[in-house]
Amino acid sequence: MNDLPRTQALRCFITVAREGTVSRAAALLGLTQPAVSLQLKGLEESTGLLLFHRTPGGFTLTEAGATLLPLAHKAVSATSDFRTAADQVRQSQRGTLRVGTILEPEFIRLGPFVRSLATYSRETEVFLRHGTSDHVLAQIGRGELDVGYYVDVTPAGLPGSRQSPERTIQGGKFQLAPLTSYDYRVIAPAAWSDRVLGKDWADLARLPWLATPPGAAHRRLLDDIFRPLGAMPKRVAFADQEAAVIDFVESGICLGLARDGILDRITRRRDFVIADKVALTCDLAFACLASRRHEGVVAHAFAAMQAVWDLQPAGTAPIEAARSRKGARR
C-alpha cells in the first residue's frame, strides 16, 4: 500500500457502498460522477485491492471491500472527531472575557494582564467592569462576569502570595488564585496615639470608625473581626476610596483601614498614627467559578495572570479557606 487514503476517497467509498451507484453517491457528496470514479480508482490503486464489482445494475462490494468498509467508517469518524476538537479549541481562544476589577489599575497590574492575555488568546475581546470586591464575586456567581479580582484574608497555616496554592471559598463555589499578600493597617488621628498604640481589636471596637460601602473588602474584613467579639463599632463616616479614608482619619474623627503599600508611599507629614498591635494580612486573588476554572477562555485568563505575577502554575486541588484572622503583624 502506498500513502494512506485521503478522507475524501474514503467518503466516496462509503457512499458508493451504501447507495450502490456512482451517480447517487456523487449527488449526495456534491461531486461530479467522474470525480467520484476517480476517487474510487485512486483508492483501489493505493490499496492494491478491488473494492467493488461493477455490474450493469450498479456497484457491489467485493470481499476485500466488505472487510475494509467498517474501518473506513472509523477513519472518517476519527477525522470528524479531530476536526470537532480543533474547532472547540479554536472557539475557546476567541470570544469575550468579562473581567471584574477593583482598587487601582497599577496595584492589580491590569495593563500587563491585558497585554499578557493577548499572547494566549489573540481573538478574545476583553471587557472590564470596575467595582468592589464582594460585588465582583457576586457578579461572577451570577454569570455576569467570567473572572475578577478579589480580596480575601490569608488563611492561617497557608503561605502568602507566590507560594500559595489555589483554593476554594464559599463551600467550593469559587476558586481563588492568590497573586500577592499585603497588610491592611489600622490608622487613627495623630492625637489618638494613646488610644490605639498597644491596643487589640476589642479595644479598637470601642472607638468610632470610618465605614466603606457594602460589598467593599474593608467592610467584610472588619465585620468578620468585630462580629465574634460582639462589639460592632460605631461608624461615623463613609468613604469608598483609600485616599478619602486617609483624609477622613486625618480630620480627627475616626479610625480607618489602609494598605501598607499606600502608607509607605506617603512622603508628606503624617497626621495619623498606625496601630502597632493589629493588622489584617490579605491576599489579592484572581477568582472564577470553580466549575469554570478549566474552561478555555477562563483557563487562558488564569495562565496570563500567572505570567504577569511570575507565579508557578499551582495545583488546583481545592483548599477550603477557613475564616481565620491574624490578629497581630508577625
Query: Tell me, what's the pLDDT at 181?
Result: 92
203 in Cβ contact with 176 (< 8 Å): no
**pLDDT per position as a tens digit, 134-143:** 999 999 999 9
With cell 456497484, the residue in question is: 59
Q: How many distinct helices (H) and strands (E) make up the chain?
A: 13, 12
Query: Mind listing the domains of the chain with CATH numbers?
Result: 7-91 (1.10.10.10), 93-330 (3.40.190.290)
Mean pLDDT of 192-204: 94
Query: Tell me, what's the pLDDT at 115?
Result: 87
Q: Determine which of 72-81, 84-93, 210-219, 227-236 has the lowest per-residue pLDDT on average.
A: 84-93
Burial bucket for residue 155 (CB in 10 Å: 0-12, 13-18, 19+): buried
- Find, among 29, 315, 264, 321, the residue nearest to 150 by Cα: 321
Residue 291 scores a pLDDT above 60 = yes
195 in Cβ contact with 189 (< 8 Å): no
- Find, among 34, 68, 32, 29, the residue nearest to 51 by Cα: 68
Mean pLDDT of 41-48: 90
Residue 107 scores a pLDDT above 50 = yes
Residue 108 scores a pLDDT above 90 = yes
Query: Tell me, what's the pLDDT at 116?
Result: 84
Mapped to the 3 state alphabet, what secondary structure does 136-197 carry? HHHHHHCCCCCEEEEEEECCCCCCCHHHCCCEEECCCCEEEEEEEEEEEEEEEEHHHHHHHC
Average pLDDT, the chain: 84
Q: Which cell is 9 given?
A: 476517497
Q: Which cell is 16 given?
A: 458508493
Query: Tell me, what's the pLDDT at 264?
Result: 85
Mean pLDDT of 121-144: 88
**pLDDT per position as a tens digit, 215-258:** 888 888 888 999 898 878 888 877 777 888 888 898 898 999 99
β-pair type (256-259, 174-189)? antiparallel
Rounded Cα–Cα distance for residues 253 and 237 (Å): 9
Rounded Cα–Cα distance for residues 16 and 21 (Å): 6
Assign 184 a pLDDT band (cuts: 50, 70, 90): very high
Query: Tell me, what's the pLDDT at 319?
Result: 37
Assign 156 a pLDDT band (cuts: 50, 70, 90): confident
Assign 327 a pLDDT band (cuts: 50, 70, 90): very low
